[in-house]
């Protein structure tokens, strides 16, 4: 990667995920709260369960990157209160970002050993695990976005370029002040 380290790249990606989650939450907050927990034809059934899954998987992979091997059940909702789920996902993204900031550059070139949910011992490069984490969130946010717009919510603009424009605009504004 020319000019940008893996470390800095994933710090930006974690910040983007935080931003995109917030954009999606603003969209979802326009829906009838009951619609969040009703079946919507998603892999995890409801919008709430799918957002809970995003959080649980992010926590799972972050802990694996930290050398732990947590067990989890994807069939259950771990955060049944919607407001608590939103706050927990916000905090998880910031915790991941701060944790990445504290990693040395060499960490991203290291292999991480962990036990998968099917009980098998696995090894992957840290950068591949982080790429998986980021694309996993985008994948499921897209599913939720489709369900939300079908229910009448405005289509959220969560693409990375919208994030970059928002960041660049905020930086330009602070330079003027």
Is residue 1 in a domain? no
What CA dihedral angle connects 40, 14, 136 and 28, to 10 degrees?
Answer: 10
pLDDT at 76: 93
Neighbours of 100 (CB within 10 A): 24
Is residue 138 in a domain? yes
Separation of alpha carbons 153 and 151, rounded Å:
6
Residue 130's CATH number: 1.20.120.450
Note the pTM of the prediction, 2 decimals.
0.93
- Which residues lie closer than 8 Å to 85 by C-beta, 6 or more apart? 48, 51, 52, 55, 79
Is residue 155 in a domain? yes
- The residue ranges of DSSP E strands in the chain, in sequence order, are 111-115, 121-125
* Crossing angle for the helix pair 126-150 and 6-28, to the nearest 10 degrees: 20
> What confidence tens digit (pLDDT) does each residue in 47-58 have?
999 999 999 999
Torsion sign over Cα 72, 76, 81, 85: positive
> Tens-of-pLDDT digits for all 177 residues of the chain?
568 899 999 999 999 999 999 999 999 999 999 999 999 999 999 999 999 999 999 999 999 999 998 888 888 999 999 999 999 999 999 999 999 999 999 999 999 999 999 999 999 999 999 999 999 999 999 999 999 999 999 999 999 999 999 999 999 988 888
Retrieve residue 33's tokens: 């709260």
DSSP state of 114: E
Is residue 91 in a domain? yes
Task: Count up the domains in the chain and report the number.
Answer: 1
Burial of 63 (0-12, 13-18, 19+ CB in 10 A): middle
Range of the domain at 132: 6-176
Is residue 53 in a domain? yes
Separation of alpha carbons 120 and 123, rounded Å:
10
Is residue 70 in a domain? yes
Is residue 50 in a domain? yes
């Amino acid at each position: 990667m020319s000019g940008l380290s893996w470390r800095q790249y994933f710090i930006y990606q974690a910040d983007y995920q935080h931003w995109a989650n917030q954009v999606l939450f603003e969209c979802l907050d326009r829906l009838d709260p009951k619609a969040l927990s009703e079946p919507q034809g998603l892999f995890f059934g409801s919008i709430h369960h799918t957002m809970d899954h995003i959080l649980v998987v992010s926590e799972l992979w972050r802990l694996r990157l930290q050398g732990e091997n947590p067990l989890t059940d994807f069939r259950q909702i771990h955060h049944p209160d919607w407001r608590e789920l939103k706050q927990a996902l916000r905090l998880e993204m910031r915790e991941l970002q701060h944790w990445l900031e504290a990693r040395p550059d060499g960490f991203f070139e290291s292999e991480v050993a962990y036990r998968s949910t099917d009980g098998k011992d696995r090894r992957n490069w840290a950068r591949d695990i982080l790429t998986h984490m980021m694309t996993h969130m985008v994948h499921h946010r897209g599913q939720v976005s489709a369900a939300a717009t079908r229910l009448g919510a405005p289509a959220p603009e969560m693409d990375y370029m919208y994030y970059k424009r928002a960041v660049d605009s905020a930086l330009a504004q602070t330079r003027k002040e």
